[in-house]
Each structure stands twice: as structure tokens, then as C-alpha cells.
């Protein structure tokens, strides 16, 4: 299929190399039909917001047919839109409008597991042990007398055991919820099915895929016991010794070398289509050179760089993450990506308001330390300003352009993340970053839905942060994001290279680098630092970033040197 070229795109590098990509979480972006759950027509009706934000592409989290036991990451049919979100015609309308606005569309691909309601899993349950139907998943006999013990000791990322027993005594593997059985990627039928799913969406005009749990598809053939903690955000690898790649000990369920053959094959499929179609790996893999294997020239185009995201408010740590990821990616000739928030982690406007931003990755509850909203937002704006100047592509998560905080006071009975239930409430889960967006300060559900319904309650603090309350207001977070993307484009930030500017980082806590003739300075220290005399301020993360020629704490600037 041939795509129309995006308007005014005259570059020779692929569009994704320096793209700003906005993550839309369909459940919570905008609800057109008033049932309290966002939908595709709602997204289409608000696409002008994305155009005014100046983003190059949008990535849609899953909107496929799903019982929603993991918010759509449990797919029952990969080619159908869930009626909660609309129809295929609604998807086409969304994609076509986005194209007209010059915004490309990326969809989520969830190949590690299906929903237990998928026709394949239902057939597997109905079939006998050893049948072809069971072989599409990872069914095994148990250990111990009568096979009553699970085949190995793996746990679920969401807490609890990683295996569930079916009535005939066999067990199936689910690295996530019990309703998300893992597929067997050694089975050619699984490979062929996903080839077809990928073509289905490419034929419908999508420009790329975000590949869920890209490091999980292939498991160690022996399914050996593993005593490590099976997690996503923290990564699930142990490293040691002088050579981090040689000494790397991958967990047996993640980052097995066999995954790369799958991505080489998918890259061939992308190559059948025009328009620089792409894939981005969601792979919580360490160290950086292992992650860079996913973006070798014949594999995926991008991988999320979570090393930067999990750093605290610490210039030295951020610099280490930048160096490590850029060096690893340069070694394979791939541009890097940057991201600070998504639907799985605490929003960075709240993370940076905690005493230790690295301490809570997945959820804050009412009984936990509460973030300092003021400091958190100041730091988030500063970190984003620095991030958007780094060479490579950047991902934004819906609502961060409004400065939304994590919702930390959600009542237990409103929470839907399976992590909450499977951990017995020990881990509050990710609902706090998934609360429906506030569009209009004075409207019911802050304009999220026409009826005022909202699948998660919105905090009162959302009123002041609603999009219409920030529209045209100088210094608002929304206007800052618009300025950042516009100036980034004008100054060609995101392209080219960067170099540390130690001469402008006089003390610990200051991050300074130059790129495309711009000096970027970020202050994570607790005192102000003198900026170079005569420098022209291009953009500051807050209106008062500079005081008497010095960069104040918790702020960042883009400067042009004299």
C-alpha cells in the first residue's frame, strides 16, 4: 500500500529518527459516547489538540476487542476494535484525520500473550494435552506428586504465581495476569498469525507499531527455575564482571537471543511497505548494549530508553544514562529515544516531587509519601526541556503537557490495575497515571465526557490544570510544551549530535550540553548558578528560570551563546 507523503516533509532521514510522539491512552483521552470510558471518536474530536502541540505522531495504546482485565493489553481479537472504543470505521476516520493534520499513527502490538477470551485460548482449553491447540501457548505438566506443583517457580510480573492449572491437570504460563496466557513463539502458526496482523494494520495505513513486552516472546527452552524478581520497570537481569554484555545473565523469561529473529522477520515485512514504517520496542532490558541489539539495522527502528526515565533528580545520573544509551545506540547506528512518563509509571510531575524519585516506579497510594506538587511540576518541566533538546526521538504521555500529577488518592474500589489485586494491595498499581484528562475546567468530568462519567475519579486539582484553563496563558505548562516543540523544530533539535559543555557546568547538579548551536543547562542542585554572560535566552522551563544572570534551582534553559 502506498501512503501519501506527510505535508512539507523534505528530510532525507526517516521521519521517526527525531519525531516527537504523543502517547494516547484511549480509555482516558476523551469520551464521545458518554459511558465514562474514552473512545476513538473522542480522540478524533480532540486531534486538533495534538496538532496545536506540534507532535509528529501519535501512539495509541490498545483499542482492540478485549475483556479489559489489563486495560486492553489482553487482546481477544487483534483485528477488531472493542465496541467500547468504537469500530474499524472509527479507527479509519481517526487515522485519516491524523494524516490530514500531518500526524502519523502508531498502534500497539501485543504479541507476548493473548486474552484468555481469545478464540485460540478457548480452543486450547477445550483440547487435550499435547494437542496442536495447546501448542500455541505454553502448557506443561506440573511437578511433584500428581503434577500438583507448577512446572517452575516463575512468578507473574503483576504478583502471584506465573502458572495456572486447568481442570485436566496441566498448567499454562502467564507472565502477567491469569487472563493473559503467554504465546508459544516456537509455533509457526503463531508467527504466521502475527505476520498477518501486522499486515492488516499496515494495510489500514498505520505508520508503525509499539511492540509490547518485546523482550518476552522467547523463553529459555528449559524453562528453568529463576530466583530473581520478575519485574518490568526495574528490569529483570543480573549483570556482573568487567564486561556487562559478556557477563550478562538474562532472566530465563526475558531478553533471550531468539527474540531477534522475530524482529528481523518483522523488519522484512515493514520493508514491503513505503513511508518508513517503524516499530518501537518496549523492552525493559539492561545493560544498554543489550537493549541496542533490538535496534540493529535489520531489526526494529526504535526501543524505549527507560534508563533515562528511571534516573532520579540528579544531573550526574541523567548524564550517565544519556552517555550509556547514546554510546550503545551509536555502536549499532541507531538514533535513540527519550521518555519520562507513560501509562505504566508514576507521572514525572509527581515522581520528581518525591524525596527519592527512583523509589516508587509503579503507583503511589494514599498511605505513601505524597509528592510535593509544586516542586515536582517545576522539575518535570525542566527535565522535559532538557529531554526535548537531546538528539533522537521523544515520547510524551497524554496529560504531561498539562502538568498532570499522579492521582494518589484513588479509592481501592475504583482501582482496575490487576497489579493491585494480584499483590493484595501491596502494590497500588498504575491507575494513578491513567486518570481521564481534564479538557474544560467548568464542565462535568472536566470535559472528558458529555455526561460527566469517568471510569476513574478525577482529582479536584485537575480543574486548574484543564486544557482550557491553560490555553493562551503565558507560562502555563501547555504553552510551554507548544513552545518547546515549535522551537525544537525550528532549531532542528533532536537531529545531529550533542556534546557535554563542562565549562558551563561549574558544579555538581548542573547538566550542560550543546546541540545544534544551542546551550542547554539544567539545574538539579539547590542553589542558583551563573550562566554565561551575554547568552540569549531562547526558552526557559519556567518564566523565572533566570534570576540576575543565574539559573535558579529546579529549572532549565535553552540558550544561544554570544
Residues 73-112 that bind ligand BGC (CB under 6 A): 73, 110
212 binds ligand BGC (CB under 6 A): yes
Q: Under the criterion CB under 6 A, does residue 255 sit at the interface with ligand BGC?
A: no
Q: Which CB, 180 or 470, lies closer to ligand BGC?
A: 180
Residue 268, CA distances (Å) to 262, 279, 298, 335, 429 in order? 10, 12, 8, 20, 37
Using alpha carbons, select from 150, 154, 229, 215 the residue that is nearest to residue 185. 215
Catalytic residue (one of 168, 243, 272, 356): 272
Quick one: 138 or 478, whose CB is closer to ligand BGC?
138
The answer to whether 279 contacts ligand BGC (rule: CB under 6 A) is no
As measured in angstroms, the least distance from the Cβ of 23 to ligand BGC is 10
- How many residues sit in the footprint of ligand BGC (CB under 6 A)? 10
Residue number of the CB atom closest to ligand BGC: 73
70 sits near ligand BGC (criterion: CB under 6 A): yes
Would you call 530 a catalytic residue per the annotation?
Answer: no
Using CB under 6 A as the binding rule, whether residue 416 contacts ligand BGC is answered as: no
Q: What share of the chain is helix, strand, coil (3-state, %, to 5)?
A: 30, 15, 55
Q: How far is the CB of 30 from ligand BGC (least distance, A)?
A: 20
Among 213, 300, 310, 552, binds ligand BGC (CB under 6 A): 213
Q: Which is nearer to ligand BGC, 18 or 282 (CB)?
A: 282
The answer to whether 25 contacts ligand BGC (rule: CB under 6 A) is no
Instruction: Give the nearer residue to ligand BGC in terms of CB position, either 72 or 252.
Output: 72
- The residue whose grid cell reads 479507527 is 91
* CB closer to ligand BGC, 31 vs 344: 344
Of the listed 70, 108, 177, 212, which one is catalytic?
212
Minimum distance from residue 215 beta carbon to ligand BGC (Å): 10
What is the C-alpha to C-alpha distance for residues 402 and 379, in angstroms, rounded to an integer? 14
How crowded is residue 151: how many other Cβ atoms within 10 Å of its Cβ? Answer: 20
Task: Say how many C-beta atoms besides its own lie within 10 A of residue 471's C-beta.
Answer: 13
Count of CB atoms within 10 A of residue 245's CB? 14
Q: CB-wise, 56 or 70, nearer to ligand BGC?
A: 70
For the CB of residue 430, give the shortest distance to ligand BGC in the complex, in Å.
7
Per-residue binder mask for ligand BGC (CB under 6 A), 479-518, x = binder? ----------------------------------------
Q: Scan residues 325-384 and list those touching ligand BGC (CB under 6 A).
A: 343-344
In 3D, which of 308, 218, 290, 310 has the Cα closest to residue 249? Answer: 290
176 near ligand BGC, rule: CB under 6 A = yes
CB of 433 to ligand BGC, least distance (A): 10
Q: Least Å distance between CB 390 and ligand BGC?
A: 23
Helix axes 188-203, 259-271, angle to 10 degrees: 30
306 lines the binding site for ligand BGC (CB under 6 A): no
DSSP state at residue 387: H
65 vs 72: CA distance, rounded Å: 8
CB atoms within 10 A of CB 243: 10
Active site residue 272: yes
Cβ-based nearer residue to ligand BGC, 343 or 348: 343
Measured CA to CA, the distance from residue 323 to residue 551 in angstroms comes to 24
Selected from 6, 21, 232, 270, the binder of ligand BGC by CB under 6 A is 232
Closest by alpha carbon to 395, among 543, 194, 266, 210?
Answer: 210
Task: State the number of CA atoms in the 13 A half-sphere of 349 facing the CB.
Answer: 22
Tell me the three cell numbers of residue 337. 529515544
Q: In angstroms, rounded to a whole number, what is the distance separating the alpha carbons of residues 135 and 189?
A: 10
- CB count in 10 Å sphere of residue 129: 12
Asked whether position 433 contacts ligand BGC by CB under 6 A, the answer is no
Tell me how far apart the alpha carbons of residues 116 and 533 are, in angstroms, rounded to a whole number.
Answer: 63
| Cβ pair 558, 539 in contact under 8 A | yes
Query: What residues are annotated to the active site?
Result: 212, 272
Query: Which residues of this protein are in contact with ligand BGC, per CB under 6 A?
Result: 70, 73, 110, 176, 212-213, 232, 282, 343-344
Amino acid at each position: 500500500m502506498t501512503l501519501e507523503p506527510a505535508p512539507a516533509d523534505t528530510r532525507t532521514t526517516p521521519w521517526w529518527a527525531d519525531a516527537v510522539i504523543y502517547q494516547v491512552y484511549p480509555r482516558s483521552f476523551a469520551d464521545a459516547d458518554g459511558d465514562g470510558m474514552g473512545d476513538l471518536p473522542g480522540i478524533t474530536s480532540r486531534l486538533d489538540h495534538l496538532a496545536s502541540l506540534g507532535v509528529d505522531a501519535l501512539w495509541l495504546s490498545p483499542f482492540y476487542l478485549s475483556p479489559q482485565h489489563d486495560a486492553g493489553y489482553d487482546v481477544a481479537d487483534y483485528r477488531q476494535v472493542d465496541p467500547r472504543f468504537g469500530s474499524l470505521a472509527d479507527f479509519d476516520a481517526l487515522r485519516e484525520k491524523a494524516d490530514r493534520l500531518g500526524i502519523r499513527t502508531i498502534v500497539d502490538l501485543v504479541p507476548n500473550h493473548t486474552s484468555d477470551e481469545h478464540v485460540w485460548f478457548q480452543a486450547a482449553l477445550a483440547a487435550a494435552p499435547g494437542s496442536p491447540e495447546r501448542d500455541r501457548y505454553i502448557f506443561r505438566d506440573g511437578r511433584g506428586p500428581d503434577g500438583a506443583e507448577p512446572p517452575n517457580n516463575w512468578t507473574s510480573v503483576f504478583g502471584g504465581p506465573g502458572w495456572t492449572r486447568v481442570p485436566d491437570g496441566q498448567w499454562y504460563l502467564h507472565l502477567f495476569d491469569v487472563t493473559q496466557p503467554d504465546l508459544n513463539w516456537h509455533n509457526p502458526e503463531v508467527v504466521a498469525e502475527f505476520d498477518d496482523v501486522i499486515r492488516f494494520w499496515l494495510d489500514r495505513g498505520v505508520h508503525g507499531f509499539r511492540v509490547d513486552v518485546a523482550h518476552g516472546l522467547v523463553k529459555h527452552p528449559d524453562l528453568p527455575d529463576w530466583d530473581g524478581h520478575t519485574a518490568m520497570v526495574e528490569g529483570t537481569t543480573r549483570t556482573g564482571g568487567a564486561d556487562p554484555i559478556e557477563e550478562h545473565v538474562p532472566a530465563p523469561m526475558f531478553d533471550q537471543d531468539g527474540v531477534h529473529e522475530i524482529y528481523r522477520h518483522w523488519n522484512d515485512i515493514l520493508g514491503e511497505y513505503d513511508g518508513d514504517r517503524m516499530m518501537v520496542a518496549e523492552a525493559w532490558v539492561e545493560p544498554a548494549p543489550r537493549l541496542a541489539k533490538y535496534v540493529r539495522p535489520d531489526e526494529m527502528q526504535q526501543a524505549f530508553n527507560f534508563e533515562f526515565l528511571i534516573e532520579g533528580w540528579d544531573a550526574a545520573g541523567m548524564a550517565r544514562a544519556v552517555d550509556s544509551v547514546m554510546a550503545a545506540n551509536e555502536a549499532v547506528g541507531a538514533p535513540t529515544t527519550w521518555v519520562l512518563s507513560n501509562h505504566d509509571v508514576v507521572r514525572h510531575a509527581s515522581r520528581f516531587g518525591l524525596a527519592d524519585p527512583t523509589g516508587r516506579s509503579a503507583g503511589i497510594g494514599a498511605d505513601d509519601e505524597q509528592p510535593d506538587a509544586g516542586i515536582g511540576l517545576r522539575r518535570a518541566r525542566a527535565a522535559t526541556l532538557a529531554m526535548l533538546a537531546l538528539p533522537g526521538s521523544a515520547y510524551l504521555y497524554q496529560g504531561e503537557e498539562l502538568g498532570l500529577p499522579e492521582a494518589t488518592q484513588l479509592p481501592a474500589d475504583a482501582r482496575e490495575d490487576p497489579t493491585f489485586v494480584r499483590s493484595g494491595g501491596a502494590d497500588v498499581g498504575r491507575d494513578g497515571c491513567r486518570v481521564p484528562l481534564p479538557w474544560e475546567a467548568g464542565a462535568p468530568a472536566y470535559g472528558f465526557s458529555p455526561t460527566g462519567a469517568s471510569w476513574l475519579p478525577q482529582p479536584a486539582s485537575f480543574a486548574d490544570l484543564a486544557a482550557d484553563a491553560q490555553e493562551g496563558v503565558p507560562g502555563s505548562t501547555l504553552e510551554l510544551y507548544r513552545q518547546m516543540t515549535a522551537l525544537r523544530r525550528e532549531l532542528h533539535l533532536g537531529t545531529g549530535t550533542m556534546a557535554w559543555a563542562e565549562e558551563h557546568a561549574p558544579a555538581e547538579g548542573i547538566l550542560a550540553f550543546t546541540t545544534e548551536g544551542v546551550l542547554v543547562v539544567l539545574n538539579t542542585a539547590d542553589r542558583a548558578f551563573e550562566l554565561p554572560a551575554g547568552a540569549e535566552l531562547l526558552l526557559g522551563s519556567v518564566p523565572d528560570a533566570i534570576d540576575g544572570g543565574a539559573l535558579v534551582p529546579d529549572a532549565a534553559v535553552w540558550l544561544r551563546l554570544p
